[in-house]
């Protein structure tokens, strides 16, 4: 989509009611030693219905042709590269994130994304792909299986879902052991979203459960835990099951591929006017004044889901929905955190 000018005019800020929620400590933190391991690889998605890399005889994305030729050569089949047609094959990058405590035989989800000019990966199968933890390292896992992707919206006139990236549920298999961190020496909890208030509440809950001095705030992103009697595993289990009452998390997550919008809490949008290309969104204006093509009007004090529904109703593309909500947040009309994925 061509670049367009996005202008946000902020009229006023709507007050957000204070809300709280009860959350387990394990849902707010991660152990210091539990840093995920990222794996990567280069593979082929096969079995496509003519939507793969548009390559004939090495022209254009020749890496796909060479990869297919090498794959066949491993099975004792020699085919000249200039005779290969790869419309049913797509070269992809494969990525995954796993726990450092996963043992050989454990399965995990992998993500694939087209590297060439494939039109769609729908209906394809990821051929067995070695996965490495760092460039030049030996493979520690493999990935294979049928690719899966969201169908997006079925409403007529809505934007087409991006089909050049997908996932393979349980497609990864760890085959080699990973260097495991020293769990018995891990006594620090790292907050998934650093916040001094939340860190203080966690430390107070730990002290109430394990005794004074058992929990201490190291900084807004970390809480140190002193295990009574040196039983780290028992202490961390107890701490993880503790619950604290925190302010409701105000966050909006937008899928930039299919336009899905998820809002945590009752996130309201203040009065504003947004101009994005031929689309004009008015929040808090006169609902009766609309009607023109691209003129979207939403009542005052609307929440994020109502705004998203209004944009979906006029078949706004996912990228436009993401841009509008982001700029509303930047201008202060949305006081929640906005994430685009």
**3-state DSSP: the chain helix, strand, coil percent, rounded to 5?**
25, 35, 45
- Give the pair of three-digit tokens for residue 29: 């933190």
Q: How many Cβ atoms are within 10 Å of 317's Cβ, its own excluded?
A: 17
Q: What is the pLDDT of residue 302?
A: 84
CA separation (Å) from 232 to 65, 191, 210, 225?
A: 53, 18, 12, 9
Is the per-residue pLDDT at 190 higher than 70? yes
CA separation (Å) from 299 to 59, 167, 184, 315, 325?
A: 55, 38, 56, 19, 16
What number is the average pLDDT over the span 209-216? Answer: 90
CA separation (Å) from 302 to 51, 240, 252?
A: 42, 37, 14
Q: Are 116 and 55 in contact (CB under 8 A)?
A: yes
Q: What is the pLDDT of residue 202?
A: 94
Q: Tens of pLDDT along 266-308?
A: 678 888 888 888 888 888 766 555 556 678 888 887 888 888 8
Q: What is the pLDDT of residue 170?
A: 93
- Give the pair of three-digit tokens for residue 304: 């994020």
Higher pLDDT, 9 or 152: 152
Higher pLDDT, 29 or 81: 29
Burial label for 25, CB within 10 Å (0-12, 13-18, 19+), is buried
**Alpha-carbon span 298 to 296, nearest angstrom:** 7
Is the per-residue pLDDT at 92 higher than 60? yes
Q: Tens of pLDDT along 150-174?
A: 765 444 444 456 789 999 999 999 9
Domain range annotation of the chain: 6-19+249-340, 21-34+181-247, 37-174
């Amino acid at each position: 989509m061509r670049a367009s000018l996005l202008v946000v005019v902020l009229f006023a800020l709507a007050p957000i009611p204070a809300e709280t929620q009860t959350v387990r400590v394990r849902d707010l933190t991660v152990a210091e030693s539990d840093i995920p391991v990222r794996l990567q690889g280069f593979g082929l998605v096969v079995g496509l219905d003519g939507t793969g890399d548009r390559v004939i005889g090495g022209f254009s994305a020749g890496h796909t042709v060479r990869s297919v030729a090498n794959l066949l050569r491993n099975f004792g089949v020699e085919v000249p590269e200039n005779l290969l047609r790869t419309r049913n094959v797509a070269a992809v990058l494969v990525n995954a994130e796993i726990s450092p405590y996963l043992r050989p035989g454990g399965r995990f989800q992998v993500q694939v994304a087209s590297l060439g000019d494939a039109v769609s990966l729908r209906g394809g199968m990821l051929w067995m792909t070695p996965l490495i933890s760092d460039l030049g390292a030996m493979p520690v896992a493999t990935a294979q299986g049928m690719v899966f992707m969201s169908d997006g919206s079925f409403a007529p006139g809505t934007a087409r879902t991006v089909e050049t990236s997908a996932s393979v549920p349980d497609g990864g298999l760890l085959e080699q052991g990973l260097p495991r961190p020293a769990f018995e020496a891990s006594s620090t909890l790292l907050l998934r979203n650093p916040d001094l208030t939340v860190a203080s509440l966690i430390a107070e809950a730990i002290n109430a459960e394990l005794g004074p001095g058992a929990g201490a705030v190291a900084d807004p992103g970390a809480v140190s835990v002193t295990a009574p009697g040196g039983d780290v595993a028992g202490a961390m289990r107890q701490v993880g099951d503790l619950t604290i009452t925190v302010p409701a998390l105000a966050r909006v997550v937008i899928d930039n591929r299919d336009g899905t919008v998820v809002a945590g809490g009752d996130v309201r949008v203040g009065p504003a006017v947004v101009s994005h290309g031929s689309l004009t969104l008015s929040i808090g204006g006169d609902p009766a004044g609309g009607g023109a093509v691209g003129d979207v009007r939403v009542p005052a004090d609307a929440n994020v889901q109502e705004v998203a529904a209004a944009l979906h109703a006029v078949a706004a593309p996912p990228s436009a929905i993401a841009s509008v909500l982001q700029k509303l947040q930047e201008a202060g009309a949305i006081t929640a955190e906005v994430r685009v994925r």
